[in-house]
A and B are shown apart, each in its own frame.
Chain A
Amino acid sequence: MTWYVRLWKFITLAHGSGGKETEELVKNLIVQSVPPELWRVEGGTGLDILDDAALIPAGENRYIAVTVDTYTVKPIFFPGGDLGKLAASGTINDLLMVGAKPLAVLDGVVVEEGFPIEDFKKIMGSFIRTLAEEKVALVGGDFKVMPKGQLDGIVIASMGIGIVEGKPIVDTEIRPGDKIIVSGYLGDHGAAILAAQQSLGVDLGVESDVKPLTRLMLPLLEKYRDSIHGAGDPTRGGLAMLLNNWAEKTKTVIVIDEVKTPVRPQVREYAEMLGVDPFSLASEGAAVLAVEPSRAEEIIEYMHSLGFKEATIIGEVYEPKDPRHAGRVLLKSVAGGVRILEPPSGEIVPRIC
């Protein structure tokens, strides 16, 4: 067990932040309790890799991809979307990020007694509309109500099923030399939610980017499946968390360039004012790819042609010079110099002396 897990006494909000603490909790208190032979289905992937979705072999060069996520957001209706769209998009994107074509979804909805029917209709409406637009079936589900006060509003659990034809995109395939690509502006969702939550009187003018990435990923997979070594959506914990995960899983060093990483000026500014790292803000409609370097430029051009105009190469994967540096993400900063891009922590405590 990791040393500081031993210091924990209670579950805190930090454990659910999607940062370092969540990862440690899942690995130490859940994964390690499962017998390793049950971490995955023979020939597939699962808790061993903790990718966006698990893979279950289904014949020659075919896999079934499955994923589940529980969605909760404050406020439920936010600029650019709502909980329903978030749940549907998140599920679809998780399937896409392992190279699957999303097929069907099952949901589990828990609502607090007294929740307005009008809001419920809106949320489920946008959940279903989002699935329908991407031709994803809703094939089953569960519905429960909790007494007032035992739940804050509504929670949606959403499980997705997809099919992989050909090579799945498994993060452990990422290797030194790969170029890191992002599909567009990062952090919009996180910034929009923060602005809505904090109500500090700032008109951010930025909406959540929440959307399914089907129209980006399916054509890309069609054309470049073999050149894409890793794919992920930088949701909770943002780019910082995702790249740290990749670097750690593959024992590599990832170096990205702050100047090249697309973040809207207002988002960066707002993050600076709040004292948070813009790279740890969530995106709900952006993809990060690790691709074969020789194809990187071509892939970028193709992404542009698909309408993702901000797609760009932001960095590269390296062999660590010193094995102790494996798993590290470095950021070439605007000001010059390099800093370690840390996995975000749920607990933000000043360090400067």
Chain B
Amino acid sequence: MATARRALRLRVTGIVQGVGFRPFIYRLAVSRGLAGYVLNLGGSEVEIYVEGPPDQLASFIKGLYRERPPPARIEELEIEEAEPQGLGSFTIRKSERRKSKRSMIPPDFGICSDCLHEIHDPSTRFYRYYWNSCAWCGPRFSMMYTVPYDRENTAMKKYPLCTECRRDYEDPANLRRFHAQGISCPKCGPRTYVYTMDGKRLDVPDPVEWAAEKIEEGYILAIKGVGGFHLAALATRDDVVEELRRRKRRPSKPFALMARDCSVVEMIAEPPPGACEVLQSAERPILLLPKRPGSPVSELVAPGLDTIGVMLPYTGFQALLLEQVRDGFLIMTSGNETGYPMCTTLKCVFTHLCGIADYVVAHDREIVHRVDDSVLRYTDGELVFLRRARGYAPMWLYAPAELPEMVAVGAELQTAGAVAFEDKVVPTQYIGDMDEPGQVEELERELRWFVEVYSLKPRIVAMDMHPGYHNRGLAARLAEEYGAELVEVQHHHAHAAAAMLEDRVPPGEEKVAITIDGTGYGVDSTIWGGEVLVASYSSFTRVASLYPFRLPGGDAAAKWPVRALIGLMQASGLDEEEALDVLRRYGLLSRDKLPHGETEARVSYRLAAFGKAPLTTSMGRTLDALAALLRIAWRRDYEGEPAMKLEAAARGGRDHGYTPGLLSLDGRLVVDTPGLLRWVLENIDRLPARDIAVTIQRGLGRALGEAAARAARGLDGPVYISGGAAVNTFIVQGARQVLSDYGLEVRIPRRLPPGDGGVAVGQLLVAAAKLGEI
């Protein structure tokens, strides 16, 4: 007996546009013998109406998740029963243009397995075609001039579809190419050229083979990818890596690797379960993984660290190149001159990379938006962002309230901006350091682009309180131009708010947040960085911090951690001779650790003692000081270097359970880091460095956890940890240890970088709340 016909109306929200979602629904419905229709609603929603037998409807829903195109993401699914209309077939209906609804701009996706398959299959017309892509994969945001995502609005507009491509594009039965905006083939798509560094084009029969050969010979190549250029080089030859470091003037910052596939990743790293799926995802990020001991990767790739950053190929060119090179993996670091952003044009390559690269391989498709590779790592087993860019940006996040239209310019280093409208916040892709030439302009260009394509009339512009941040002038100019209110937001308040937004904490609610990082300008004009706040979006109280100490020479103490150690020793009550004794005993007065030796040490001590140096509660500088004392790091060549090395040095150590106490100062709790320093000095000669390293980092986490627990009385959990130092596994573990005893959960941001890449989003919420808009 035939079951009764039933009907369902579905609303799907998420990444469902520009990823071949409608043809997929069409095929899914037809395969289940269902009738109905699918249509784009604008925004990031699709409406589906299906009718047919109930068991087939159930199978349809299952298939929605299981068989969806790889980059599609279903964030919300609303299903309601409907009255069957007796439709005879399933159709893709023309999109409804709803004026008020704005669409999510699709990010750049790595090449899918079907496209890869085609370029390996001599029987397809895509055989060995480097830039093969389909509805499920390929660049999007990086090549968009404007919205909506139609071919005409992208850098693909200069490549008219050939007859075959047009046929595929118009064929609804072609799941991967029907209405896929970015498709092309060897006949009609971008071309690939090889150049010498003086701009001469070389005639080579097969650019991939040629590039592989040159790299194997030890040359460094600039290769154009999706959001910019890479520098490719052998990762197994010390002399090559050293040469690259010398040319890039980059003494120790780790280089990312690209590996052919997960089996190669297994060979060079120790990926935890699930890591391979992350690497293979459409987002194709760089993932920091534990190094595999004895792997053929040169130690110079990531000196002093226990992790290496690895990604998988995300273009056909990269896939073929990695198959071609014997090692199966290569250095693929961003193609920039140190101090400048990554190149996106040949002109930039020939100016900025001429002393660095030997040859260039470039396609002729324009890169409209610079989009760096995204970087993720594991913190206490959880995946967190260090850099949110390719594959993720510019996807939006939902705010816990309707926001006015607004702009935020973010922080200073490793930062991004953000815009807000409706109940959404859109962080820009990672932009970088605002003190580098051209970066404030890049931030401006991207922010203006979002304001334009989302047709925003910003009423608020938010910026950091730090008087020296380079993007404050931009914020002021934008505010003036838009007639918008200019609002200053305290750095750690923004960190807290970003974590709370991600967790959809409603406006008005107070939460406890441990906000830890290198530098943030405090409301008392000192430098904060190890703070426990009780915060709502509109205001905060600083309930605890690390013990304040002086940073002799300001930023000089960030570059030379021994100076921070001197400041910490001075604050801990060591007199000048005692402090010098410690430095002498542990060999910290040598010129590689302190360029001007003992004089500099004494000057530093006196600057601190006379109060002629900025006061700080920075977690970053506290970790730097301890890393210096343990002789784990004494120079900072890249952001977070000493802290990262301290974390690496703690691996495998035994936690001796020491926790610094909490003192009371100026009406708040302070973590007794002078006590911690004394503990280290008492144990440094009898315990292995890794034991001390693990104990002090967990200990700092435990002390902050204890302070947070006390502050949380009467408040609901969870407790948030945010800020650049929130990615430190041991600190997070320490805080979790203590807070779990109080029944409080600890959460780290997972969709936004916990570091300064997430600050702009926090600024939006705080600024809106301060003005009473939420």
**Residues of A with Cβ closer than 8 Å to B?**
3-4, 7, 198, 200-202, 269, 272-276, 322, 324-325, 328, 330, 335-340, 345, 347-353
Contact = CB atoms under 8 A, between A and B. Distances in A.
B645 interface: no
Contacts of A269: 596
Interface in B456-510: 466-469, 472-473, 476-477, 479-480, 486, 488
B613 to A, nearest CB: 8
B339 interface: yes
B134 interface: no
Contacts of B636: 352
Contacts of A274: 553, 556, 603, 607
Given A273-B603, A275-B553, A353-B517, A3 B486 contact: yes
Interface residues of B, number: 59
B756 A275 contact: no
A352 B527 contact: no
Contacts, number: 120
12 contacts: A4-B467, A273-B600, A274-B556, A275-B552, A275-B555, A336-B249, A350-B519, A350-B557, A350-B614, A350-B616, A351-B519, A352-B555
Which 7 residue pairs spanning A and B have beta carbons closest together?
A275-B553, A3-B476, A275-B556, A353-B518, A352-B558, A337-B339, A350-B554
Contact of A272 (B437, B468, B595): B595
A335 B599 contact: no
A352 B559 contact: yes
Interface stretch (B13-21, B35-43, B300-308, B406-414): B406-414
A29 B435 CA distance: 29
Contact of B521 (A202, A273, A349): A349
Nearest to A348: B554
Contacts of B469: 351
Contacts of B600: 273
Contact of B413 (A4, A335, A352): A352
B620 interface: yes
A201 B602 contact: yes
Nearest to A275: B553
A337 B249 contact: yes
A201 B598 CA distance: 12
Contact of A200 (B477, B488, B603): B603
B339 A351 contact: no
B479 A352 contact: no
Given A340-B437, A351-B555, 12 more contacts: A3-B486, A272-B556, A274-B556, A275-B554, A324-B441, A337-B340, A349-B614, A350-B519, A351-B466, A352-B413, A353-B412, A353-B756
A140 B20 CA distance: 87
A349 B519 CA distance: 10
A4 B475 CA distance: 11
A349 B435 contact: no
B479 to A, nearest CB: 7
The interface centre, meaning the residue of A275, A330, A335, A339 with most chain B CB atoms within 10 A of its CB, is A275
A339 B519 contact: no
B394 interface: no
A3 B412 contact: no
Contacts of B606: 198, 200-201
Nearest to B605: A200
Nearest to B441: A324
A241 to B, nearest CB: 16
B295 interface: no
B759 to A, nearest CB: 10
Given A4-B472, A275-B552, A347 B602 contact: no
B299 interface: no
A345 B595 contact: no
Nearest to A347: B467
A272 B594 CA distance: 11
B555 A272 contact: no
Nearest to B338: A337
A107 to B, nearest CB: 33
B468 A351 contact: yes
Contacts of A200: 602-603, 606-607, 610
A57 B135 CA distance: 74
Nearest to A274: B553
Nearest to B491: A353
A338 B603 contact: no
B201 interface: no
B414 A353 contact: yes
B326 interface: no
Given A275-B555, A330-B437, A353 B411 contact: yes
Interface string B634-646: 0010010000000
A247 B257 CA distance: 42
A259 to B, nearest CB: 15
Contacts of B107: none
A345 B519 CA distance: 19
Contacts of B473: 3
